[in-house]
Amino acid sequence: MKDHPASWNTYDDSLAEAYAVKGDKGQAMALYQKAKAMVKQDDQKRRIDGEL
Question: How many whole angstroms from its chain centre is CA 31?
Answer: 5
Question: How many whole angstroms from its chain centre is CA 7?
Answer: 10
Q: How many CB atoms lie within 10 A of CB 2?
A: 5
Each residue's pLDDT tens digit, 22-39: 999 999 999 999 888 888
Asked if pLDDT for residue 11 goes beyond 90, the answer is no
Residue spans of the domains in the chain: they are 8-51
Q: Is the whole-model pTM more than 0.85?
A: no
Measured CA to CA in angstroms, residue 25 lies from 6, 8, 21, 41, 43 at distances of 23, 18, 9, 24, 23
Supply the Cα-derived Rg of the chain in whole angstroms: 10
